[in-house]
């Protein structure tokens, strides 16, 4: 590259040519890679956990050993291949954390916020996702295992998956505090308050450690369905808002500019 930056050539028309242009000339390419990695991660997360492994919505916490053995054998291939995908893509979690950390770096708050968020969410992957995936994989790989042990694996997997609370509680609180303190208007105020909803789901979910059936069990109307609804809304909101953040980013220091009104030609 020459020392004097030259204006990038105009964006070409074709899809692949345009991708190449972004790779070579888009100053925001690093942020776009992070955003797409995050977008793909949540899509794959949904496919693996809801469609392939049938972990969401979760099976019943009150099942006896014979039913649990049957659940493992019914979902044998889905669990093993689905969690294989999950193991393969777990590195993508880092790009979600990096982009969210970057959003806090762009705010008028201390660097302590992005670092704390990235540290907490990096460690959360293990109890919040991978431990459950490892346990259920081990359960599914030997359908002839002692049913009492399969039943323990089942409990351990769903309790760590649903009942890991603190890392998400504190992590969300840090992001929320940063948004509410920020003067650079990186996020709208309503999203700061939406963080409270997500944070409260981690409080609401606590009874799964006590109840084996009813609305507060790990598959309960409140602890699973309401919490999952909030999680989906919250995730969709931040994926959309982070996309706007990348579009608005000016690599400056002060208030993040608003999006220019979309020009007529863009649609």
> What are the structure tokens assigned to 29, written together?
């390419």
Minimum CB–partner distance for residue 172 and other proteins (Å): 17
State which residue, 32 or 63, has the beta carbon closest to other proteins: 32
Q: Which range of residues in 144-152, 170-178, 183-191, 193-201 is near other proteins by CB under 8 A? A: 144-152
Q: Does 80 bind other proteins (CB under 8 A)?
A: yes
CA dist 153 → 57, 120, 133, 170 (Å): 18, 26, 11, 27
| Structural contact between residues 81 and 136, judged by C-beta atoms closer than 8 angstroms | no
| Cα distance between residue 231 and residue 236, in whole Å | 8
Long-range contacts of 201-206 (CB under 8 A, 24+ apart): 201/226, 201/227, 201/230, 201/231, 202/165, 202/166, 202/168, 202/169, 202/172, 203/165, 203/169, 205/162, 205/163, 205/165, 206/163, 206/165
Q: Does 142 bind other proteins (CB under 8 A)?
A: yes
Q: Which range of residues in 66-74, 88-96, 181-189, 206-214 is near other proteins by CB under 8 A? A: 88-96
Q: Does 146 bind other proteins (CB under 8 A)?
A: yes
Minimum CB–partner distance for residue 70 and other proteins (Å): 19
Figure out which of the listed residues 135, 162, 186, 242 binds other proteins, where binding follows CB under 8 A.
135
Three-state secondary structure along 225-264? HHHHHHHHHHHHHHHHHHHHHHHHCCCCCCCCCCCCCCCH
Q: Does 69 bind other proteins (CB under 8 A)?
A: no
Size of the site for other proteins (CB under 8 A): 52
**Pattern of binders to other proteins over 13-52, x per CB under 8 A?**
--------------xxxxx-xx------------------
* Number of residues in the chain: 267
Q: Does 199 bind other proteins (CB under 8 A)?
A: no
- Footprint on this chain of other proteins (rule: CB under 8 A): 1, 3, 27-31, 33-34, 77, 80-81, 83-95, 97-99, 101-102, 105, 114, 118-119, 121-123, 125-126, 130, 134-135, 137-138, 140-142, 145-146, 149, 153, 251
């Amino acid at each position: 590259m020459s020392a004097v930056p030259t204006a990038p050539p105009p964006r070409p028309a074709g899809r692949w040519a345009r991708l190449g242009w972004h790779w070579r000339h888009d100053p925001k390419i690093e942020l776009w890679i992070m955003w797409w990695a995050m977008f793909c991660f949540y899509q794959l997360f949904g496919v693996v956990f809801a469609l392939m492994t049938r972990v969401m919505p979760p099976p019943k916490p009150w099942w006896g050993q014979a039913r649990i053995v049957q659940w493992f054998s019914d979902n044998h291939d889905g669990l093993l291949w689905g969690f294989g995908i999950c193991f393969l893509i777990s590195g993508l979690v880092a790009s979600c954390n990096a982009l969210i950390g970057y959003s806090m770096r762009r705010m008028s708050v201390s660097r302590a916020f992005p670092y704390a968020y990235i540290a907490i969410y990096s460690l959360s992957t293990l109890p919040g996702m991978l431990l459950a995936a490892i346990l259920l994989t081990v359960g599914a790989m030997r359908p002839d295992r002692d049913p009492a042990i399969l039943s323990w694996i089942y409990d351990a997997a769903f309790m760590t998956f649903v009942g890991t609370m603190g890392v998400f509680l504190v992590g969300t609180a840090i992001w929320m505090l940063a948004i509410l303190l920020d003067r650079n208007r990186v996020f709208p105020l309503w999203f700061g308050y939406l963080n409270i909803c997500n944070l409260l789901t981690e409080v609401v979910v606590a009874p799964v450690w006590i109840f084996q059936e009813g609305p507060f069990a790990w598959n309960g109307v409140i602890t699973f369905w309401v919490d999952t609804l909030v999680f989906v809304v919250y995730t969709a909101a931040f994926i959309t808002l982070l996309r706007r953040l990348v579009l608005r980013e000016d690599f400056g220091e002060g208030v993040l500019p608003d999006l220019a009104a979309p020009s007529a030609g863009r649609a």
